């Protein structure tokens, strides 16, 4: 089978994880990754056997100074690719769009870009076919992915009249030197926050509002969600809906998992690569139904939940697999998700 040739533009937090996942698939391969600087991640890419390209000509000398031999620059990588996964920082991807357009190459943007950059926002379960054969698609952010993963199946089975989610966000990624105030909680003052609107790029019919605070942790986002449902389910019925769909995993306070730190410890105990958790985590004993109202908590591993979505998005855009569930299962099997 000829493999789809993928280039990763911006080998950082998301880029290196996307590259790792793609290298585990049998229908696609990474033909090169770009870096702006000769950081440890540049050496990591080489260790992983990934051809390394300087983001631009100006960066080449920096790599040479560090004795890192690059295979060329981004311009040399572009013609070798069927599709680019653009994992540059938020707002930078938009600047690359005309370059991808000119080269006639497909590109996947990330949640740091606006919906308009691609016009299609993606979640494998909810709208796989919208990306079918498209030139540009945006895989939504980690928070939006988390909300869509759990709300979409609930809406299909019980119908959601109204949803409110309060997002408790991590201040920075563990490897992020930007960081956040060590001892502060910062509310997002522009209300309602953009997260609800972002969910509507995939589920436009959903009546959802969100608020958010940023907290001094690097370990996951936690969402507190309430939904007014059209039908009146039992808690067990809600749990069995989530149990029947992929990329959702239950944990339980009764079994000692009471915080995001313990969820991350579980990921490490399970031997997950990088200690990542690509599933959305729901506290089974934190699910409550009162009449038509559903309450639940979920935790999102910000650095990794979108990674399997990127893989499925490639399959849809490159027309590799028509059935979303087959693509999802194939990705999850290869990544050890659900074990």
- Restricting to residues 299-328, name those near ligand NAD by CB under 6 A: 302-303, 306
Q: Which two tokens stand for residue 290?
A: 């009162």
H/E segment holding residue 251: strand 248-251
- Restricting to residues 154-183, name those near ligand NAD by CB under 6 A: 173
Active site residue 142: yes
Q: How far is the CB of 130 from ligand NAD (least distance, A)?
A: 19
H/E segment holding residue 20: helix 13-23
Distance CA 123, CA 3 (A): 23
Using a 10 angstrom Cβ sphere, with 0-12 exposed, 13-18 middle and 19 or more buried, the burial of residue 239 is middle
Q: Which two tokens stand for residue 154?
A: 């609930």
In eight-state DSSP terms, residue 73 is: B
Q: Which two tokens stand for residue 73?
A: 């620059």
Residue nearest to ligand NAD (CB): 12
Q: How far is the CB of 240 from ligand NAD (least distance, A)?
A: 29
Q: Which string of x and - marks every residue 96-125 that binds ligand NAD (by CB under 6 A)? A: --------------xxxx------------
C-beta closer to ligand NAD: residue 206 or 278: 278
CB 304 within 8 A of CB 276: yes
Q: Rule CB under 6 A: is residue 55 a binding residue for ligand NAD?
A: yes
Q: How far is the CB of 18 from ligand NAD (least distance, A)?
A: 9
Paired strand residues for 289: 294
CA angle in degrees (0–180, nearest 5) for 107-56-62: 135
Figure out which of the listed residues 4, 34, 296, 312 binds ligand NAD, where binding follows CB under 6 A.
34
Figure out which of the listed residues 20, 22, 85, 87 binds ligand NAD, where binding follows CB under 6 A.
87
The candidate with the shortest Cα–Cα distance to 112, out of 92, 135, 85, 83, is 92
Distance CA 105, CA 168 (A): 37
Q: Which string of x and - marks every residue 214-253 that binds ligand NAD (by CB under 6 A)? A: ----------------------------------------
Q: Which string of x and - marks every residue 187-206 that binds ligand NAD (by CB under 6 A)? A: --------------------
Q: Which residues bind ligand NAD (CB under 6 A)?
A: 9-15, 34-36, 55, 87-90, 92, 110-113, 141-142, 173, 302-303, 306
Give catalytic residue positions.
142
């Amino acid at each position: 089978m000829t493999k789809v040739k993928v280039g990763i533009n911006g080998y950082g937090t998301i880029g290196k994880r996307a590259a790792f996942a793609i290298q585990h698939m049998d229908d696609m391969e990474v033909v090169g990754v770009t870096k702006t600087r000769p950081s440890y991640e540049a050496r990591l890419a080489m260790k992983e056997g990934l051809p390394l390209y300087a983001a631009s000509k100006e960066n080449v000398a920096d790599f040479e100074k560090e004795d890192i031999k690059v295979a060329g620059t981004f311009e040399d990588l572009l013609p070798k690719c069927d599709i680019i996964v653009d994992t540059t920082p938020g707002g930078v991807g938009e600047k690359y769009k005309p370059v991808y357009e000119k080269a006639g190459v497909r590109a996947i943007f990330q949640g740091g870009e606006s919906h308009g950059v691609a016009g299609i926002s993606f979640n494998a379960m909810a709208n796989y076919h919208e990306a079918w054969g498209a030139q540009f698609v945006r895989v939504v952010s980690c928070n939006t992915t988390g909300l869509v993963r759990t709300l979409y199946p609930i809406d299909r089975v019980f119908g959601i009249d109204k949803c409110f989610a309060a997002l408790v966000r991590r201040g920075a990624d563990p490897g992020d030197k930007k960081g956040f105030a060590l001892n502060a909680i910062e509310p997002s003052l522009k209300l309602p926050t953009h997260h609800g609107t972002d969910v509507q790029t995939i589920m436009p019919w959903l009546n959802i509002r969100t608020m958010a605070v940023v907290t001094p942790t690097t370990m996951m986002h936690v969402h507190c969600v309430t939904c007014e449902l059209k039908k009146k389910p039992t808690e067990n019925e809600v749990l069995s809906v989530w149990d029947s769909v992929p990329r959702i995993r239950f944990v339980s306070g009764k079994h000692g998992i009471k915080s995001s730190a313990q969820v991350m410890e579980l990921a490490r105990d399970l031997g997950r690569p990088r200690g990542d958790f690509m599933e959305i985590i729901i506290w089974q004993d934190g699910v409550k139904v009162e009449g038509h109202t559903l309450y639940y908590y979920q935790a999102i591993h910000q650095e990794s939940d979108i990674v399997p979505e990127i893989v499925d998005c490639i399959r849809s855009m490159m027309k590799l697999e028509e059935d979303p569930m087959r693509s999802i299962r194939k990705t999850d099997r290869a990544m050890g998700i659900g074990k």
